[in-house]
Amino acid sequence: MTMNAPEKNALEIARNYIACWNEIDIDRRRALLETHWQAQADYVDPLMAGANLLEIEALIAAVQARFPGHSFTLKEGTEGHNGRIRFSWSLDDNNAPQMPAIAHGTDFVTLGADGRIAHVTGFLDQVAA
């Protein structure tokens, strides 16, 4: 079986995804979303959902507002096949890196024919009390 370019670049796609969630400058975040996500991409996890880039950008802004000074970290083990990518992440306090992450999750991404993110399903693996 051969992998197409988006699947070979699963780690790069996951890194770009995390960069979108960590970008605090709204213009740069929107540029990242427009570059790496399809316009009608959708996102869903147990707590929130968005049906296009504007809604997804609002979700990211809301998470940043709720957890100022925190950032997402991509964990080891990103995998990709057949236009799908799976990776795990943690949400960490930038001011207290020695503290446990406040959340861990795993996201499943489906790529569009153009290699950009079309669908995301997120799971919360562990959330601090």
Q: Count how many residues are written for the chain.
A: 129
- At 128 the pLDDT is 78
Domain count, the chain: 1
Cα–Cα distance, 51 to 58 (Å, whole number): 11
Q: Residue for token digits 């707590």?
A: 47
For position 7, what pLDDT does the model report? 57
C-alpha 26/C-alpha 84 separation (Å) is: 27
Residue ranges, the chain, pLDDT below 70: 1-8, 129
Is 87:74 a contact under the CB 8 Å cutoff? yes
Can you give the pLDDT at residue 97? 81
Condensed to tens digits (0 to 9), the pLDDT of residues 108-123 reads 999 999 999 999 999 9
3-class secondary structure, 67: coil
> What CATH number is given to the structural domain containing 121?
3.10.450.50
Look at residue 110 in the predicted model and tell me its pLDDT: 97
Strand ranges (E), 17-116 = 37-44, 49-50, 70-74, 79-81, 84-93, 103-111
Give residue 67's domain range: 5-127
pTM over 0.85: yes
Q: If DSSP codes are grouped into helix, strand and coil, which group holds residue 109?
A: strand
